[in-house]
Amino acid sequence: MTGHDSQKPAVPAALSVGRAVPRLEDPKLLRGQGQYLDDIALPGLLECAFLRSSAAHAKIDDLDVEEARAMPGVHAVLILADLMPKLTSGRMPLGASPTGGQSNSTPFVLSNSEVAYVGEPIAMVVADTRYLAEDAAARVKVAYTPLPVVTDARAGMSADAPTVRTELESNVLNSFNVGFGDVESAFANAAHVFSDDLWQHRGCGHSMEGRGVVAEVRPGDELCVWSSTQMPHDLYYMLQSMLGLDQDRLRVITPDVGGGFGPKYCLYPEEVAVPAAARLLGRNLKWVEDRRETFISSIQERDQYWTVEVAVDANARLLGIRGRLVHDQGAYAPKPVNLPYNSATAMSGPYMLPSYSMDVVIVHTNKVPVSSVRGAGYPQAAFAMERTMDLIAFKLGLDRAEVRRRNLIPPEKMPYTKKLKARSGAAMVYDSGDYLASQAEALEAAGWKDFPDRQARALAEGRYIGIGIANAVKGTGRGPFESGIVRVGQDGKVSVYTGATAMGQGIETALAQICADGLSLPVDDVRVIAGDTARTPLGLGGFASRQLVTAGSSVHLAAKSVAAKALAAASVILDVPQADLELKDGHVRVLASNRAISLAEIARTLRGAPGYAFPAGTEPGLESAMHWRSDSLAYANACHVAEVEVTPELGQVEIKRYVALNDSGRMINPMIVKGQVEGGIVHGIGNALYELMGYDDSAQPVTTSFQEYLLVTATELPFLETILRETPSPINPIGAKGVGEAGTIPAAAAIVSAVEHALAPFKVRISQTPITPEALFRLVESSKTN
Amino acid sequence: MHEIEMLINGRSYSGLAEARMTLADFLRHSLGLTGTHLGCEHGVCGACTVLVDGASVRSCLMLAVQAKGAIVETVEGLAATDGKLSPLQQAFQDTHGLQCGYCTPGMLMTIVELLRENAQPSEAQIRDAISGNICRCTGYQSIVEAVLLATGGKSAGRMSE
């Protein structure tokens, strides 16, 4: 070699990517210095409260707001007609950003003539304080004429069922078939056919911080809106359209977000009503959801009823699955019907399935509207498939893991094309992963092989222990793009701007790591600015475990582009060939010499100070904007093994062990990955055992506080054992796959598998979640009498 | 309206409050100490936990007037005056004991109380102490590990990664 190693990369290899770098978000949050929505203080800020329907379905005959309006401290009591002068439509747009596509299934900004679920907003009170606003809301007099309700989607789909809204001709919002292959001949030629009816209920998202909106009126007819949302850019486009605002007069900011989990993916009537009222009154307004409002007005991802028939050959290999999926949509459909489509297309998961036919029916009921909660349709699909796997094993007297092993897609078949289309219309191609090795590793760690002996010994002592398994695949990194802008400041510090939304998952740290490595800088020198439409013109936001894959790829490419630009500029400034330069520690250094120029100095030079020579052949500004595009999904996979002990007399389930293997591709920060997986598992455990959003026969919600709706607390959990595999994705430049939902998807199926196994002596079949103590007790009792 | 004075994190604060105003709202909105968070406003989630005269309370269930003359401790008082995180706060960062950070102030104050009573809690005692604090993000394990790290305790769990 002469002079320098020509193979040496101009930017050193990873410094922080792959390491458990402490989160940049933490110090302020630990000091109580985070700024969440309710912390935003503005001059003359007034507070709002919503009067919500107490009826599940009713015609509103009369609304008397006069008494409320006259109360001291009350500035306004508004109904839809009052807001209309500031709105282009009284009804929310379908989906989010599309400005057209009006449908008669979206909610109203305020609903003044008919209400279709308990919690639907009717009127809005603006007062000096929230206390006064709630007082006044209680004084609004509403005269209702009750109308018939639909509480069960299966009953609601019949032709003679009453409609959940009088404007509808039928409660069936949509129906379609998802399928491939010759399912009829698969069943005709099967060695065995089994069937089951399944119900999965998921309850609510319940981020600890509820939703909230602040609207600030600014001079020049400008408006700044803060929202605790996963989708600031969608909110921007939607508000621009709904308020008829010039694009330069609107700014949407997402401050620190106290958790999302799906419900903050949707755009809500309150996010329109509050800004519209602010413009109407010329006042700064705030509304913060309280927990009761979460229960009755934030999106839930609710019930699906599956009827599944499976055909297998003599060796328990899948030949075909057919059935029907009834999806309870609630009273409105704020988003298109993505969720049941996800469920239907995700059912076969990590398995090879030659034929499939699922009839999907989406049915309105008089309950809170439905959109995504962590997993977005996948947990129901995994539950249906994994319960089916267990059923095959039980009927054929085979080991449950063995049945799965025979049907898993082997690694040599990767990439594996499912005969289905993703929502983007692209083919559903599993990019990478070793499902057989994943399952084997999880089983080994969990002591699957020895369990029958342990179970027999326990049973001899009168203890009912069981072990359960579930696999899952999750399509992550949904496009079509996310933005990443990397800008080197005049002091050499770097700002990353992105449309990705920080909602507590650590995306800022992960993006900072990617950027820091791309520019050979310490992570602390990088600041990530997310969730501000004025500073990031293009973006989508947080959903479908997509942000690290999409924004991470953009930031990676942008940082590389900035590095290349810095090297090119330094070559001109220093008059040294680029091949003799390397970027290291924030400087471009001349190899085999002491000469160097800092990124700060290059940034200052490329700023182009007036009167000074600009380096020839270089572009102004040391920055790059990337919008990495993708229609493909990166498929993360997981295998969970749960061990439980059940007390049949009490219907009580104690989780004794939980082993979770997760493969989300290349890990940028394993600590964050582990945290996401563990949080996801506990969400799934809640779905399996505790979380029930209850309604009575008149569609009145009966769980509207955390005293009735149970979330998992620390004492219900064993030590979670997490195994992290790393199979890079070939479809994006950083090799990453999403992780946020992968922990949740198989958890309920694994727990239920274990509970059923523990109760094997009673021969119970569990076909639902949550499996509450009462439900379990009844199953055991009825098995005794049978 | 009632005039209330209290000592918060070693500093005297006073303000006016209606009889029905909660301590949480008084801290947050009247005094601008927004570190204390509200998650449920019915005493179950624990995000609003602060210490009043040394004992943990749900500041959403206590009225501000009830804290008149009291010594109140909130999350803002945990770090050193130069901003250095307390050992417990630092342990939270080191073990990834927080994600969105919303429940974190209540978790920290609950654990501060625990550690004053029991400097070396077992894993079970820690889980018991935080069983009234809901965290939707972390799955709790990293929080338990943070307390064990801060107190030199050991996790009973099996580490398999």
Question: Per residue in A451-481, pLDDT tens?
Answer: 999 999 999 999 999 999 999 999 999 999 9
Region A6-15: mean pLDDT is 67
Cβ–Cβ gap B96/A261 under 8 Å:
no
Which residues is A288 bridged to in the sheet? A212
What CATH code is assigned to A481-629? 3.30.365.10
Residue A106 has pLDDT above 70, yes or no: yes
- Other Cβ atoms within 10 Å of A320 Cβ, number: 26
- Strand locations in A630-715 (E): 634-647, 652-663
pLDDT score, position B156: 61
Are the Cβ atoms of B104 and A207 closer than 8 angstroms? no
pLDDT of residue A2: 40
Q: Let me know: does A503 contact A257? Beta carbons within 8 Å.
A: yes
Contact residues on chain B for A38, CB-CB shorter than 8 A: 28, 34, 38
Q: What is the pLDDT confidence band of residue A7, given thresholds at 50, 70 and 90?
A: low
Instruction: Pick A683 or A94 by higher pLDDT.
Output: A683
Cα distances from B147 to residues A668, B14, B129, in angstroms, run 26, 34, 11
Using CB atoms, pick whichever of A30, A506, A682 lies closest to residue B139.
A682
Range of weakest confidence among A5-14, A489-498, B139-148: A5-14
Q: Chain B contacts of A445, Cβ < 8 Å? A: 160
For A631, phi and psi rounded to 5 degrees?
-105, -5
Over pLDDT 90: what percentage of chain A? 91
Tell me: pLDDT of A612 over 90.
no
- What is the rounded CA–CA span in Å between residue A579 and residue A3? 11
- Give, for A687, the enclosing helix (H) or strand (E): helix A670-689
**Residue ranges of the domains in chain A?**
429-475+634-785, 481-629
Hey, is the C-beta of B39 within 8 angstroms of any chain A C-beta? yes
Residue A446 to residue A162: CA distance in whole angstroms: 51
Two structure tokens written together for A558: 């942008």
∠ CA B103-B104-B110, nearest 5°, is: 95
Cβ <8 Å between B158 and A681 = no
Confidence of residue A613 (pLDDT cuts 50, 70, 90): confident
| Shortest distance, CA A771 to any CA of chain B (angstroms) | 20
- List Cα–Cα distances, B49 to A706, B61, B122, B125, in angstroms: 16, 10, 22, 18
Residue A570 has pLDDT above 50, yes or no: yes
Q: Which residue has the higher pLDDT, A698 or A617?
A: A698
Buried (b) or exposed (e) across A513-534, using 16+ Cβ within 10 A?
bbbbbbbbbebebbebebbbbe
The CA distance from B1 to the nearest CA of chain A, in Å, is 14
What's the mean per-residue pLDDT of chain A? Answer: 95
Contact status of B26 with chain A (Cβ, < 8 Å): no
pLDDT of A726 higher than 60: yes
Whether A705 and B42 lie within 8 Å, measured CB to CB:
yes
State the ipTM, two decimals. Answer: 0.97
According to DSSP, residue A746 is labeled T
SS3 call for A480: coil
Structure tokens that stand for A340 in this block: 């049941």
> Is the confidence at residue B155, as pLDDT, over 80?
no
**What are the C-alpha distances in Å from A361 to residues A17, A102, A328, A528?**
45, 21, 9, 43
- The per-residue b/e assignment along A27-42, b for 16 or more CB within 10 angstroms, e otherwise, is bebbbbbbebbbbbeb
pLDDT confidence of A421, banded at 50, 70, 90? Answer: confident
* Option in A29, A678, A718 nearest B98 (CB): A29
Contacts of A364 by beta carbon, 8 Å cutoff, 6+ apart: A105, A150, A153, A156, A163, A164, A165, A168, A171, A172, A173, A329, A330, A331, A332, A333
Predicted confidence band of residue A336 (pLDDT cuts 50, 70, 90): confident
The pair of three-digit structure tokens given for residue A433, joined into one six-digit string = 């992963």
Q: How many A-B residue pairs are in contact by the CB < 8 A criterion?
A: 192
A424: nearest Cα among A174, A637, A629:
A629
Q: What distance in Å separates residue A392's CA from the closest CA in chain B?
A: 31
Contact list in A for residue B100 (CB cut-off 8 A) is: 207-209, 256-259, 503-505
pLDDT greater than 60 at residue A100: no
CATH class of A429-475+634-785: alpha beta
Task: Report d(CA A600, CA A586) in Å as an integer.
Answer: 8
Between residues 140 and 159 of chain B, which touch chain A (CB distance below 8 Å)? Answer: 140-144, 155-159
CB–CB contact A209 B102 (8 Å): yes
Q: Could you tell me which chain B residue has the CA closest to the CA of A39?
A: B34
Which candidate, A709, A35, A260, A638, places its Cα nearest to that of B136? A260
Of B92, B100, B161, the CB nearest to A723: B161
Q: Is the model's pLDDT at A1 over the cut of 80?
A: no
pLDDT of residue A8: 63
A95: confidence class by pLDDT, cuts 50, 70, 90 = confident
Q: Are the beta carbons of A706 and B134 separated by less than 8 Å?
A: yes
Closest Cβ–Cβ partner in B128, B136, B159 for A208? B136
The whole-number average pLDDT for the span A167-180 is 94
Domains with residue ranges and CATH for chain B: 2-77 (3.10.20.30), 87-151 (1.10.150.120)
Average pLDDT, chain B: 95
pLDDT of A614 above 50? yes
The minimum CA-CA distance between B68 and chain A, rounded to whole Å, is 21
Asked if the domains A429-475+634-785 and A481-629 are classified in one and the same CATH topology, the answer is yes
Q: Quick one: pLDDT band at residue A12, thresholds 50, 70, 90?
A: confident
